[in-house]
Every structure is written in C-alpha cells, then in structure tokens.
Amino acid sequence: MMSDKPNRPELDELTEAERQAADRDRSAPSATSSEEAAARTAAAPRSEDLGAVYEIPVQLSAVLGKTTLPVSQLLRLGRGAVVELDRKVGEPIDILVNNRLVARGEVVILDDRLGVTMTEIIKTET
C-alpha cells in the first residue's frame, strides 16, 4: 500500500543543506555586505518558503509504449483487438510528469493494482 507522504530523499538532503547553510551564516562574521547576504538568500530557498509549492498537484503518467496508425485502422479496432506498441517485453517504460520525461522504470504489481518502480532518473539540462 502506498503512503500519503511522498518518499523524497532529495528533499531531506535539501533540508540538511539548508540547515548547514544556516549554521554557516550564524557563525560567519557579521561584516558581510548586504549584497552577499541577498545572494545567499536567493540561492538557497528555505523549506518553509517552498511549502506551497509542495502542495501543487502534478500529473504522473507511465507510458508502456506508443504506435501510429491510420484513422481507418483505428476505426476497425474492436473488442479484443491487439495494438502492437513500439516497446518489447522487459524494456523500461517512460515515466512522465506533466508530459515531461523524468524517469524510466518497470511495471510492478501491488496486490491487485499496477505500479511503477523507477530504475533511472532522467536529468535534463535547462
């Protein structure tokens, strides 16, 4: 069964990094310029500042495969028809968040439901 709270270790690491930055700020000499202080504040948002962002819903999709077919073939599909996809059995599936590829994974069975386990995180350059 899945928990209501997301398992997000990267957020725990971020929080720890924020704590370390706050400790450095407290122990640093007070002779820093206001520009340096503003740059540090802008570079490391506090977790309480991000609270509202964590509540924004996103759409997660697991894509087993894709195919292209003409409308005439689509209209001939009926109950029990099999549509061949571009993936082979055992190949990783794409995991999309808001239609953006973020990971690849494998289909798993959880009791009587399907799930996805992430096996590769896709890092995109911005």
- The 10s digit of each residue's pLDDT in 24-82 is 555 555 445 566 656 655 566 666 778 888 899 999 999 999 999 999 999 999 999 99
Non-local CB neighbours of 24 within 8 Å, separated by 6+ positions: none
Tokens 């991000």 correspond to what residue?
A: 50
Is the pTM higher than 0.75? The answer reads no
Give the chain's mean pLDDT: 78
| pLDDT at 6 (0 to 100) | 47
Cα angle for residues 58, 100, 105 (degrees, 5° grid): 90
How far is 100 from 124, CA to CA, in rounded Å? Answer: 10
57-126: CATH architecture: Roll (2.30)
Q: How confident is the model at residue 10 (pLDDT cuts 50, 70, 90)?
A: very low
- Write the single-letter amino acid at 7: N
Domain ranges of the chain: 6-56, 57-126
